[in-house]
Amino acid sequence: MMPSSPSNIGNKKNKSFTRFGLNLRQRTLLTMILASIFLASVILGGIFIDEGKIATNLTARNLSPSLQHLFGTDWLGRDMFARTIKGLRLSIGVGLLGAVGSAFIALVLGMAAATMGKLTDRVVTWMIDLFLSVPHLVTLILIAFMLGGGFKGIVVGLMLTHWPSLARVIRAEVMQIRTADYVQVSQQMGKSRWWIATHHIFPHLIPQLLVGFMLMFPHVILHEAAVTFLGLGLSPHKPAIGIILSESMKYLSSGLWWLAFFPGVALLIVVRTFETMGENIRILVDPTQANQ
């Protein structure tokens, strides 16, 4: 009797794993559900948390982390857990506006470069290369400074600095789609460019646009926190994560380590959660992994 080959053994293991465990798509869906629940908890917590917990309370100044104050309190007696949750919600909101605007710019320029002739393609490609040649954070700081900082300055800056990479992906995808047979048939039948773009091209761009948006989101949040930390972002009166970290720097030498540690770790967890969701969405929309 012939012994089983290594490939047969591997196939048996994969079949048994699929039968008794979760396949790749099921694990991906489970991960996305858990990540969505976590992010929804942060957002809802920032909305419904009691405003009194971030009010000044001089009788509870500089308390270390405990069951009553999970992240401790600051030099004004404000609960750091409540401030952190509200700051995360604010960062997510600003990041959402910036990422949506940037994705829209990427979509418009990417489609224009691939469908409106060689001159438009050269101009858009030159703009993409120009913005990619300068670090996002430097350009963001310059734009926020020119607009006077604040909410408007940081949101506009985020919109105008994070679109180039996604625009390049969309341009390449559109150039590939427009050579398809059904697009050529529509052109020969006299369909307008707008009709072809909305009926043939845009539906195929939705997966790439969604994945690009989700992968852009964490970078937008981190850059917003960095610019706010430098004093060019949101107002100091708002409990943003960048402001919390900036204020805590002068108290670290006094041993109040929790003022920066917990907000910083919470920001990294939220950013990593968005990255995980973006990677999982990419797996779900990838046809090569449909049956894994």
Q: Single out the residue of 84, 2, 86 nearest to residue 44, CA to CA.
A: 86
Mean pLDDT of the chain: 83
Separation of alpha carbons 247 and 251, rounded Å? 8
What pTM, to 2 d.p., does this model score? Answer: 0.80
Report the pLDDT averaged over residues 153-180.
Answer: 88
- Per-residue pLDDT, 6: 47
Which CATH code fits 41-50+67-289?
A: 1.10.3720.10
List C-alpha distances in Å: 254 to 35, 59, 201, 244. Answer: 36, 19, 59, 16
Parse the chain into domains and list their residue ranges: 41-50+67-289
pLDDT given at position 23: 73
pLDDT at res. 14: 46
- Angle (CA) 24 27 30, round 5°: 150
What would the DSSP string read from start to end of 8-76?
A: HHHHHHHHHHHHHS--HHHHHHHHHHHHHHHHHHHHHHHHHS-GGGGS--GGGTTPPP-SSSTT-B-TT
pLDDT given at position 152: 87
Q: What percent of the chain has pLDDT over 90?
A: 16
Stronger pLDDT, 195 or 41, i.e. the higher one: 41
Confidence at 292, pLDDT banded by 50, 70, 90: low
The answer to whether 276 and 35 are in contact (CB under 8 A) is yes
Q: Which residue has the higher pLDDT, 273 or 200?
A: 273
Mean pLDDT of 182-192: 81
Q: Which of 142, 137, 140, 111 is nearest to 124 (CA)?
A: 111
Residues 127-153 have pLDDT tens digits of 999 888 888 888 888 888 888 878 888
Q: What is the pLDDT of residue 287?
A: 60
What's the pLDDT tens digit per position in 91-118?
A: 888 889 999 999 999 999 988 888 787 8
Model pLDDT, residue 1? 41
